[in-house]
Amino acid sequence: MFEAPPPIKATKQMKKLMAKHFLDLDRAKKEGSPKVAWCTSVGPAELLLSMGFDVYYPENHGALLGATRMAADMIPYANAEGYSPDICSYLTSDVGAYIKGVTPLTRAYGIETIPKADLLAFNTNQCRDVQDWFGYYSRKWQAPMVGVRTHRQVGEVKDYYIEDIVGQFKDMIPTLEEVSGNKFDIDRLRETVRLSKECTVRWRKVLEAGAHRPAPMNFFDYTIHMAPAVVLRGKPEAIEYYDLLLEEIEVRKREGIASVPGERMRLYWEGMPVWGRLRMLSDIMNEMQAAIVASTYCNSWIFDAFDEREPFESMARAYTELFIVRDEDYKEKYITDWIEKFGIQGIIFHNAKTCPNNSNTCYAMPQRLAEKLGVTTVVIDGDLNDMRCFSDEQAKTNLEAFVEQIEERA
Ligand code: SF4
């Protein structure tokens, strides 16, 4: 038996905020105002919010399907309509749940269905799957779909990439005006970008607190507390929430409260979370007193570039600078910086079967980083939502061997 980590008190407030977020969307849908826009998680949320849309993030719903372990039962419904089991399991579990007519929002908030979209806005910066995912609903509901098609495998972010993305954002505006019934207002966009920036500054501080020894929060905590940065950025309540959390983190740092009691090893998580096994993986790491103190996944909602003085350009830069959009050299340098800054001894790479976009295991990155940094690496095969691709036993055995290897090297 291991010592249970002390609970994070701010969680209560976060749960209230999330309930409000979903209940507001449900009300908007029922009353027909404000209009509801679906947005990809690193899509043009600021533009949509500034136009007066209530914004819904289907990937967040996908993660809920995974975390509540509903996903595996839903995926076959989407497969039966021709969506392959090999593509994004957020997509297949979300579409499957829609076909079946269920949602985890019912149990959590008493909400019957996901909010039907008046408009869908995607950004392919993360993958093409989001476009196909939104395309399903756009056809189903005859709802307009707009999108940004981003440059991929980006090394240096060139000015002409930014000009192109800015042009794509601006092209969306007439459709957004028509559907929302509101005129575009540059000052409202500036204010939304400012609020998103304030949120991201705080979220970065939350994540950087992981450099403290012992770490006051770890990867499994972050996968929960990232929710406001994902679905409430651009709104004052996200800023207030992270101020509250940062206060608690300061107390935890001062009092030496460890998120993994007895922390004796510091690790990095690369790739998607395994939503259906967060508790199990967290327990394994607690038992071994190994703290996962940083991850590329939770860092994905740090948008340093936001600047209200240049709202379009800075949004374009923020959504192009993301880790997932970048080339191998950039990614290796990025991980190296966090490994060095956080004093990390090992990297867990998650090879998510249905998300090659956010898995960096297949082109020898684990081997290159192990050699270059002198850290131990391990690859865990699994998936974000499709638990048929994940073996509890194998993951446990691999993680135990990985931790032993780190101990031997110490
Ligand atoms: S990045 Fe991966 S998990 Fe996210 S929507 Fe794309 S394929 Fe799915």
The predicted-structure confidence for 32-60, as pLDDT tens digits, reads as follows 999 999 999 998 999 999 999 999 999 99
- Report the separation in Å between the CA atom of 42 and the middle of ligand 1, taken as the mean of its atom positions: 11
Whether 2 and 287 have beta carbons less than 8 Å apart is answered as yes
Q: Average pLDDT over the chain, rounded to whole?
A: 97
Asked whether residue 314 carries a pLDDT value surpassing 90, the answer given is: yes
Instruction: Specify the pTM.
Output: 0.97
Distance 357 CA to ligand 1 centre (A): 7
In which band, very low, low, confident or very high, does the pLDDT at 345 lie, cut at 50, 70 and 90? very high
Pairing of strands 145-148, 54-56: unpaired
Q: What is the pLDDT of residues 370-409, one digit of tens each?
A: 999 999 999 999 999 999 999 999 999 999 999 999 999 8
The length of the chain, given as a count of residues: 410
The residue whose CB lies within 8 Å of the most ligand 1 atoms, and thus the one to mutate among 84, 90, 230, is: 90
Whether the predicted pLDDT of 104 surpasses 90: yes
**Helices and strands per DSSP (H, E), number in the chain:** 18, 8
Q: Pick the atom of ligand 1 nearest to 40's CA.
A: 5
How many Å lie between the centroid of ligand 1 and the Cα of residue 392?
A: 22
Q: What pLDDT is stored for residue 1 in this prediction? A: 67
Beta-carbon contacts of 264 under 8 Å, excluding residues fewer than 6 positions away, are: 289, 290
Nearest Cα residue to atom 6 of ligand 1: 127
Domains and CATH numbers, the chain: 11-183 (3.40.50.11890)
Give the Cα separation of 138 and 146 in Å (integer). Answer: 10
Residue-wise pLDDT tens digits, 289-311: 999 999 999 999 999 999 999 99
Is residue 39 within 8 A of residue 45, CB to CB? The reply is yes
- If one residue of 127, 150, 351 were mutated to test the ligand 1 pocket, choosing by the most ligand atoms within 8 A of its CB, it would be 127
- 8 A C-beta contact, residue 231 and residue 223: no
Give the burial class of 81: count Cβ atoms within 10 A of its Cβ; 0-12 exposed, 13-18 middle, 19 or more buried: exposed
Pocket test for ligand 1, best of 126, 150, 272, 274 (most atoms within 8 A of CB): 126
Residues 6+ apart with CB under 8 A from 180: 34, 35, 37, 51, 52, 53, 119
Nearest CA to 223 out of 377, 394, 54, 59 is that of 59
Closest C-alpha residue for ligand 1 atom 1: 126
Range 82-91 average pLDDT: 98
**pLDDT digits 0-9 by tens, 358-372:** 999 999 999 999 999
Strands lying side by side in the sheet with 346-352: 290-295, 265-270, 346-352, 376-382
Instruction: Please give the number of the atom of ligand 1 that sits closest to the Cα of 324.
Output: 1
328-342 vs 365-373: helix axis angle to the nearest 10? 40
pLDDT of res. 4? 79
Instruction: Report pLDDT for 339.
Output: 97
Q: Tokens 């949320």 belong to which residue? A: 45
- Rounded to the nearest angstrom, the distance between the alpha carbon of 280 and the centre of ligand 1 is 23
CA distance 310 to 176: 20
Let me know if 175 is exposed, middle or buried by CB neighbors in 10 A (0-12, 13-18, 19+).
middle
Question: In the 8-state DSSP scheme, what is residue 291?
Answer: E
